[in-house]
Amino acid sequence: DVKVTQSSRYLVKRTGEKVFLECVQDMDHENMFWYRQDPGLGLRLIYFSYDVKMKEKGDIPEGYSVSREKKERFSLILESASTNQTSMYLCASRRLLRPDTEAFFGQGTRLTVV
Amino acid sequence: DAKTTQPTSMDCAEGRAANLPCNHSTISGNEYVYWYRQIHSQGPQYIIHGLKNNETNEMASLIITEDRKSSTLILPHATLRDTAVYYCIVRAPTGANNLFFGTGTRLTVIP
């Protein structure tokens, strides 16, 4: 059974903290994605990566960075957390060379910044 | 990637077919239509995708009009567990790898 695993379901962090959200996939997928989801706004792409050490900005990269040191792991970093980064964060992965196949999502991390 | 338009919400009686429409009038010839759903507090789950022909799998059927400007996802016998937000996505197999989800249709299956 394929799996995308996010390290935490719920996180509470203080304003100004550096926050790491971890995502691991076991499907040997090249593409990995980080989204945030807010009520009424759907899923918005923050960053994606199509290979180790490669990254591309999505629609809302400001305030975030990412790291892809290994193929199976894609980390989202909030350098200095702010209250407007309180959200549900979703990681996904997808095979690169089979563009007609689907993306697989993790269960999400609900981050609250206080 | 082509923009999609979906109704904000729909209701369906349990056991009946749920038909969820999606308009994608600017779709290009090489763009696929994907459907995902998101049950409350979970990550989105892939349902089905297609290019031109109608498709069916164990979860649903996808009907794409001949001009490909719209499609319908059909859940043949809706259950309470099908209550979710359903997203229609259109994208090309090449180019940007991101998936634009929009706000989807909230389907409520009523007992």
Residue-wise pLDDT for B42-95, tens only, equals 899 999 999 998 999 999 999 999 999 999 999 999 999 999 999 998 877 655
User: Residue B81: its pLDDT value, please?
Assistant: 95
Three-class SS state of B80: helix
Say yes or no to pLDDT of A18 above 80.
Answer: yes
**What is the token pair recorded at A72?**
């199976």
User: Residue B42: its pLDDT value, please?
Assistant: 87
User: Residue A79: its pLDDT value, please?
Assistant: 94
Q: What Cα–Cα distance (Å) separates residue A57 from each residue in A34, A65, A83? A: 10, 9, 22
Chain A, window 2-21: residues with a beta carbon less than 8 angstroms from a chain B beta carbon: 4
User: Residue A43: its pLDDT value, please?
Assistant: 84
**For A96-104, what is the mean pLDDT?**
73
Pairing of strands B32-38, B45-50: antiparallel
Asked if residue A4 lies in contact with residue A25, where contact means CB atoms within 8 angstroms, the answer is yes
Q: What Cα–Cα distance (Å) separates residue A20 from each residue in A80, A96, B16, B44, B87? A: 11, 25, 44, 22, 28
Tell me the per-residue pLDDT of A22-46, one tens digit each, with 9 for 90 and over. Answer: 999 999 988 899 999 998 788 888 9
**What is the token pair recorded at B99?**
């998936």
User: Residue B8: its pLDDT value, please?
Assistant: 94
**What is the token pair recorded at B37?**
């759903």
Closest chain B residue to A99, measured at CA: B93
Mean pLDDT of chain A, nearest integer: 92
Tell me which chain B residues have a C-beta less than 8 angstroms from the C-beta of A31: 97
A96: left (phi over 0), alpha (psi -120 to 50) or beta: alpha
What CA–CA distance (Å, rounded) separates B81 from A67?
Answer: 36
A28 burial level (CB within 10 Å; 0-12, 13-18, 19+): exposed
- Strand segments, DSSP code E, in chain A are 4-6, 10-13, 19-25, 31-38, 42-49, 56-57, 64-70, 73-78, 87-94, 104-105, 109-113
Cβ within 8 Å, pair A33-B51: no
Confidence of residue B11 (pLDDT cuts 50, 70, 90): very high
B1 in reach of chain A (CB within 8 A): no
Q: How far is CA B17 from the centre of its chain?
A: 14
Say yes or no to pLDDT of A100 above 70.
Answer: no
The minimum CA-CA distance between B28 and chain A, rounded to whole Å, is 15
User: Residue A42: its pLDDT value, please?
Assistant: 80
Tell me the per-residue pLDDT of B14-30, one tens digit each, with 9 for 90 and over. Answer: 999 999 999 999 898 88
Sign of the torsion angle spanned by Cα atoms B2, B30, B84, A3: negative
What CA–CA distance (Å, rounded) separates A11 from A13?
Answer: 6
Say yes or no to pLDDT of A98 above 70.
Answer: no
The minimum CA-CA distance between A42 and chain B, rounded to whole Å, is 4
Cβ within 8 Å, pair A41-B41: no
User: Residue A13: its pLDDT value, please?
Assistant: 97
Cβ within 8 Å, pair A41-B103: yes
User: Residue A49: its pLDDT value, please?
Assistant: 92
User: Residue A102: its pLDDT value, please?
Assistant: 82
Pairing of strands A56-57, A109-113: unpaired
Q: What is the residue type of A104?
A: F
Phi, psi (rounded to 5 degrees) for B77: -140, 85
Tell me which chain B residues have a C-beta less than 8 angstroms from the C-beta of A49: none
Closest CA to A90 of B69, B10, B105, B45: B45
User: Residue B1: its pLDDT value, please?
Assistant: 59
